């Protein structure tokens, strides 16, 4: 059997392994090994779907926790604690006996040797590899974004943003004249779901909570500005829901600027394409993501030395994959989730959303299992079960199958229920539910701690 044949069986796989493993085992000693990079939505689903399969699974992540990204904005706006929306990776797979966890960042993937190099510790050999390493913030080369703006892709991002905003209010409290230079202003670039949710979250934080925390500060002078380059918010939603969201945000005091893009930021002024300059010490960049750095590493090896890297990459730097989510020429490597340039039967790229990653993970686990008994599954097909965005208390928009559209309290209740169900971990669900109930009844947002001050002071002292 050719080494890259997809017709793996348990016995041929064990005997076939090319290079000697570097982790102490020999090829003939160990079972078939599937290595999964990324304990996000796609990676965790792959691993869970491989339970009770006679193979060994190694789950590698640069963090020792899974992050529930859809609620990052709540951490950033002090509605939830960081550990309410994160769950230890080892806890996720604790009861699954064929899984080993490696905490470390993958720095190299050698497709020919079927080996991963990590920033720390020994390399890992694989028989099959699933790459679900997600996306990173893309600044599109706009001046000052990387240097001065805040992204919202990780727990660190969310906590840094929350800390920064709270610090700006403290600054304004001791020097109210700084409000003129934009200390209380928050500009959000990108009118997709994250931008809309953040804008709604900030209006509640400022008008209900910080107003009481800072009674001597005129918090009504805080501007929340949402900038979107197209002519409507929530471009993936029905135009009626976009209009609903815009009205609801405007009603809550958000300045919605459509048809304009952020052209630059120097940490003091946000410059819009039309020339307007908004004084502001907080710019949140939710306007774009691109595939993470492993995408280029995979594509470069597919196109070969001197090949055109672009040929291996799709829009947004995503890795081109086949109908079965495998890397061209490498049936033993799957790419899923935000990193994958997977397309539907009509050639449309699938969106970078959690259900695509989850369904991709379930699908590749099925392919891997199918190879053990010689079956070939049909192409990957994503079933879109709808999309939602919350605007704030009692208000969300939801677009569901069969043309069902919800908004207002009904949309909000569906949003709350869905996010509770999707969260990993019973403790997290309880914590989030309790926090939401507390916030709802008291109009409070308890997670407004400024952390890291001692370390900052030590760093400043050298
Ligand atoms: C703020 C925000 C809000 C969102 N809201 C929604 C929403 O409401 N609904 C929705 O459906 N989708 C939402 N999304 C998108 C959704 O979160 C992603 O589509 C989904 O997380 C993609 O899953 P994934 O498995 O591809 O990657 P991720 O979930 O991003 O996981 C990638 C994992 O890989 C790890 N990793 C990366 N590089 C390496 C490396 N070199 N070595 C080791 N580990 C590595 C990371 O630590 C991470 O754990 C949102 C995203 C963001 C950022």
Q: What is the DSSP string of 16-59?
A: H--SPPSSS--TTTSPPEEEEE--SHHHHHHHHHTTTSSSEEEE
List of long-range contacts for 81-84, beta carbons under 8 Å, 24+ apart = 81/431, 81/435, 81/447, 82/155, 82/158, 82/159, 84/428, 84/431, 84/432, 84/435
Residue 14 pLDDT > 90, yes or no? no
The mean pLDDT value of the chain amounts to 91
Which residue has a Cα nearest atom 3 of ligand 1?
70
Q: Is the CB of 39 under 6 A from ligand 1?
A: yes
pLDDT in the model for residue 312: 87
Confidence bin at 12 (pLDDT 50/70/90):
very low
Residues 126-149 have a mean pLDDT of 97
CA–CA gap between residue 27 and residue 10 (Å, rounded): 13
Q: Is the CB of 91 under 6 A from ligand 1?
A: no
CA–CA gap between residue 284 and residue 162 (Å, rounded): 11
Cα of 237 to ligand 1 centre, how many Å? 21
Which residue has a Cα nearest atom 5 of ligand 1?
70
Cα of 75 to ligand 1 centre, how many Å? 16
Using CB atoms within 10 Å of the CB of residue 249, give its burial: 0 to 12 exposed, 13 to 18 middle, 19+ buried. Answer: buried
The pairing of beta strand 128-131 with beta strand 33-37: parallel
Residue 458 pLDDT > 90, yes or no? no
Q: Is the CB of 188 under 6 A from ligand 1?
A: no
Residues 4-23 have a mean pLDDT of 42
Q: Is the CB of 105 under 6 A from ligand 1?
A: yes
Number of the ligand 1 atom closest to the C-alpha atom of 43: 25
Q: Is the CB of 37 under 6 A from ligand 1?
A: yes
pLDDT in the model for residue 18: 35
Q: Annotated catalytic, 29?
A: no
Cα of 458 to ligand 1 centre, how many Å? 33
Q: Which of 38, 86, 89, 291 to mutate to test the pocket of ligand 1 (most atoms within 8 A of CB)?
A: 38
pLDDT in the model for residue 220: 94
Residue 120 pLDDT > 50, yes or no? yes
CA–CA gap between residue 107 and residue 120 (Å, rounded): 9
CA–CA gap between residue 155 and residue 66 (Å, rounded): 10
Give tens-digit pLDDT for 15-73. 333 333 445 445 456 799 999 999 999 999 999 999 999 999 999 999 999 999 999 99
Cα of 231 to ligand 1 centre, how many Å? 27
Residues 72-89 have a mean pLDDT of 95
Give tens-digit pLDDT for 249-270. 999 999 999 999 999 999 999 9
Number of the ligand 1 atom closest to the C-alpha atom of 66: 49
pLDDT in the model for residue 6: 47
pLDDT in the model for residue 178: 96
Q: What share of the chain has pLDDT > 70, as a percent? A: 94
Catalytic residue, from 45, 128, 197, 228: name it: 197
Radius of gyration (C-alpha) of the chain in whole angstroms: 24
CA–CA gap between residue 161 and residue 48 (Å, rounded): 33
Cα of 155 to ligand 1 centre, how many Å? 11
pLDDT in the model for residue 440: 86
Q: Is the CB of 133 under 6 A from ligand 1?
A: yes
Residues 375-379 have a mean pLDDT of 89
Q: Which residues pair with 290 in a beta bridge?
A: 136
pLDDT in the model for residue 5: 42
Confidence bin at 231 (pLDDT 50/70/90):
very high
Number of the ligand 1 atom closest to the C-alpha atom of 71: 3
Which residue has a Cα nearest atom 35 of ligand 1?
38
pLDDT in the model for residue 20: 39
Give tens-digit pLDDT for 187-210. 999 999 999 999 999 999 999 999
Virtual torsion, Cα 119, 338, 86, 195, nearest 10 deg: 120
pLDDT in the model for residue 29: 66
Q: Is the CB of 190 under 6 A from ligand 1?
A: no
Q: Is the CB of 134 under 6 A from ligand 1?
A: yes
pLDDT in the model for residue 140: 94
Cα of 135 to ligand 1 centre, how many Å? 6
pLDDT in the model for residue 16: 37
Confidence bin at 96 (pLDDT 50/70/90):
very high
Which residue has a Cα nearest atom 26 of ligand 1?
337
Cα of 87 to ligand 1 centre, how many Å? 14
Residues 422-449 have a mean pLDDT of 86
pLDDT in the model for residue 306: 79
Number of the ligand 1 atom closest to the C-alpha atom of 104: 43
Residue 106 pLDDT > 90, yes or no? yes
Q: Which of 43, 284, 353, 415 to mutate to test the pocket of ligand 1 (most atoms within 8 A of CB)?
A: 353
Residues 11-18 have a mean pLDDT of 38
Give tens-digit pLDDT for 297-356. 999 998 877 778 888 899 999 999 999 999 999 999 999 999 999 999 999 999 999 999
């Amino acid at each position: 059997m050719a080494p890259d044949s997809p017709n793996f069986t348990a016995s041929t796989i064990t005997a076939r392994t090319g290079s000697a493993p570097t982790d102490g085992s020999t090829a003939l000693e160990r079972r078939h090994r599937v290595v999964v990079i990324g304990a996000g939505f796609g990676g965790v689903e792959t691993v869970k779907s491989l339970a009770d399969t006679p193979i060994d699974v190694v789950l590698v992540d640069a963090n020792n926790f899974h992050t529930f990204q859809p609620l990052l904005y709540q951490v950033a706006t002090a509605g939830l604690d960081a550990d309410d929306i994160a769950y230890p990776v080892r806890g996720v797979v604790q009861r699954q006996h064929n899984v080993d966890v490696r905490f470390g960042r993958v720095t190299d993937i050698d497709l020919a040797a079927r080996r991963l190099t990590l920033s720390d510790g020994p390399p890992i050999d694989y028989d099959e590899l699933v790459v679900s390493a997600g996306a990173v913030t893309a600044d599109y080369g706009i001046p000052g974004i990387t240097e001065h703006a805040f992204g919202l892709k990780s727990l660190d991002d969310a906590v840094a943003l929350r800390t920064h905003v709270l610090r700006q209010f403290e600054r304004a409290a001791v020097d109210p004249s700084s409000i003129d230079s934009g200390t209380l202003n928050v500009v959000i670039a990108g009118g997709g779901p994250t931008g809309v949710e953040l804008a709604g979250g900030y209006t509640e934080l400022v008008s209900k909570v910080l107003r009481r925390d800072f009674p001597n500060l005129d918090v009504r002078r805080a501007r929340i500005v949402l900038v979107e380059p197209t002519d409507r918010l929530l471009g993936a939603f029905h135009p009626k829901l976009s209009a609903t969201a815009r009205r609801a945000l405007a009603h809550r005091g958000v300045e919605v600027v459509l048809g304009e893009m952020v052209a630059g930021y120097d940490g003091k002024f946000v410059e819009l394409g039309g020339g307007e300059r908004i004084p502001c010490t907080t710019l949140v960049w939710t306007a774009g993501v691109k595939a993470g750095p492993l995408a280029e590493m995979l594509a470069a090896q597919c196109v070969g030395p001197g090949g055109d890297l672009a040929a291996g990459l799709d829009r947004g730097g995503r890795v081109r994959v086949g109908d079965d989510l495998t890397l061209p020429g490498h049936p033993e490597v799957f790419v899923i989730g935000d990193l994958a340039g997977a397309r539907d039967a009509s050639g449309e790229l699938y969106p970078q959303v959690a259900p695509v990653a989850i369904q991709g993970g379930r699908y590749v686990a099925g392919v891997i299992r199918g190879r053990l008994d010689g079956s070939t599954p049909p192409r990957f097909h994503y079933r879109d079960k709808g999309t939602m965005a919350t605007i704030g208390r009692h208000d969300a928009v939801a677009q569901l199958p069969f043309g069902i559209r919800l908004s207002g309290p009904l949309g909000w209740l569906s949003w709350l229920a869905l996010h509770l169900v999707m969260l990993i971990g019973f403790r997290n669900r309880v914590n989030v539910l309790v926090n939401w109930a507390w916030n709802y009844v008291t109009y409070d947002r308890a997670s407004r701690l400024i952390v890291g001050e001692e370390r900052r002071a030590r760093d400043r002292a050298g």
